[in-house]
Structure 1
Amino acid sequence: MINNMNKFIAIVGSNSNKSTNRELLKYMKHHFQSQAEIELVEIKGLPIFKKSADKFVPQEAKDIAKKIEASDGVIIATPEYDHSIPAILSSALAWLSYGIHPLLDKPVMITGASYGSLGSSRAQSQLRQILDSPELKARIMPSSEFLLGHSLQAFDDNGDLKDKVAAQQLDGLFKDFLQFVNIFNQLNNAKEINVQKAKDFSWDKD
């Protein structure tokens, strides 16, 4: 039954209305529905990050944080712009580490699609570094890049991946992520001190 399944939040790392990263996450939601419950979350409605004296966090970011906190893990799909993640994704992660810490010790799987042949490889590498920062401290699944290149031609009319090898690779990585989540749930003894360290961290200190 679905209530016994892991529940994952899938973040669309783009504000494009026709993002192939959204298509990738929709495919995963449908394709893996017998293995996990996946909810897509949009960040395109978030304002650009801005520090304030009262550490104001917009309600949209708080709502996303609550979903992440209630989940068993997070999947992030990022495009690549100028060898980096989009500004909207960077801004969203800043909000999610500004006085709130929903990603702390949360298992994360990184995926990505791009129009070119490299499949957002540089953006995924940068995203790993950001998620490992003191303010976020997510638990990123190691050695697990899924790089979907030429993404405009990657899906058929039903939204399924045309490339069977790519589909098989994603199947294997998702199974690994399920195991990663289950194993990590048993290796979470330092969470309380990690939470305190994140709360004590300040962007205003050099």
Structure 2
Amino acid sequence: MKYLAIVGTNSNVSTNRMLLQFMKEHFKQEAQIELCEIKDLPAFYEAKDDQVPQQVEAVSEQIRQADGVIIATPEYDHAITAALKSALEWISYTSQALTDKPVLIVGASHGALGSSRAQAHLRQILDSPELAARIMPSSEFLLGKSQAAFDATGRLIDEDKLTELDEIFREFMLFTQLITKLLSEKTTTKKAKKYVWQTQEA
């Protein structure tokens, strides 16, 4: 199984990046996890004449090649970061590469509640018709007080949280297999949608 793990922030120092780096190492016998940074993507704008930035096309291709996507989101003011929202806008406006793609949401924050509100916000966005991702239901991995959650080697310290992460990841692998099987049995090929802003002149 091959997963793309998106670091949902443009910050150079992030416990969400640390969480994905830990997952990449911890689950290396079960799946291949490739980290994807969004910090170098330009802020979203309506590209003229289909001139999509090369960095955006590269991320879209990484998503297409993956069996599923893991997104780690911090929480800023009860929401996802502007950088992550911008990256998702690029995907929805151009490739729509997340359509029908299995997605697992995880998150770390400095507060005690983890990134619960940001995760709920991200679910709403991914469920929009322009993205239409297959979000794993009834799953939340909330890593609170994340500045003290890892040891010096980057290992997750809390054994209960580690057990929880193991269970969620196993469920996500099964979810990915089920979605892949479901889509393979579709009798019709779904074409990319055209939206109002793609068909109207400015």
TM-score where L is the length of structure 2 = 0.94
Q: Is 184-193 or 161-170 further displaced after alignment?
A: 184-193
Give distance in 2, aligned partners of 1:9 and 1:191: 26
TM superposition shift of 1:156: 0.5
Are 1:19 and 2:14 counterparts? yes
1:199 equivalent in structure 2: 193
* Match 1:157 to one of 108, 129, 152: 152
* Identical counterparts, % of pairs: 55
Give distance in 2, aligned partners of 1:203 and 1:34: 44
Which one-letter code corresponds to 1:144 in the other structure?
S
Cα displacement string for residues 157-200 of structure 1 (whole angstroms, at most 9, x for unaligned residues): 1111111000000000000000000111111127723xx2x422
Aligned ranges 1:161-176 → 2 under 5 Å: 161-176=156-171
Which one-letter code corresponds to 1:89 in the other structure?
L
Are 1:184 and 2:179 counterparts? yes
Give distance in 2, aligned partners of 1:56 and 1:181: 32
Give distance in 2, aligned partners of 1:166 and 1:190: 41
Q: Is 51-60 or 82-91 further displaced after alignment?
A: 51-60
Provide structure 1 residue ranges, at least 5 long, that are not aligned to the other structure: 1-5
* RMSD, matched Cα: 1.6
- 4+ residue segments displaced more than 4 Å: none
Are 1:142 and 2:137 counterparts? yes
Aligned ranges 1:97-108 → 2 under 5 Å: 97-108=92-103
Give distance in 2, aligned partners of 1:50 and 1:82: 23
Aligned ranges 1:23-34 → 2 under 5 Å: 23-34=18-29
Tell me the number of residue pairs that the alignment of Structure 1 and Structure 2 aligns.
Answer: 198
Tell me: CA distance 1:52–1:67, structure 2 relative to 1, closer, same or farther (3 Å).
closer
1:114 equivalent in structure 2: 109
Matched-pair contact (CA < 8 Å) for 1:21–1:113: yes
Which one-letter code corresponds to 1:17 in the other structure?
N
TM superposition shift of 1:61: 0.8
Tell me: CA distance 1:164–1:139, structure 2 relative to 1, closer, same or farther (3 Å).
same
Matched-pair contact (CA < 8 Å) for 1:20–1:113: yes
Tell me: CA distance 1:40–1:54, structure 2 relative to 1, closer, same or farther (3 Å).
same
Give distance in 2, aligned partners of 1:138 and 1:10: 15
Tell me: CA distance 1:172–1:191, structure 2 relative to 1, closer, same or farther (3 Å).
farther
Matched-pair contact (CA < 8 Å) for 1:134–1:201: no
Tell me: CA distance 1:176–1:70, structure 2 relative to 1, closer, same or farther (3 Å).
same
Give distance in 1, aligned partners of 2:137 and 2:189: 23
Give distance in 2, aligned partners of 1:202 and 1:22: 36
* Match 2:60 to one of 62, 65, 79: 65
SS of corresponding position for 1:200: coil
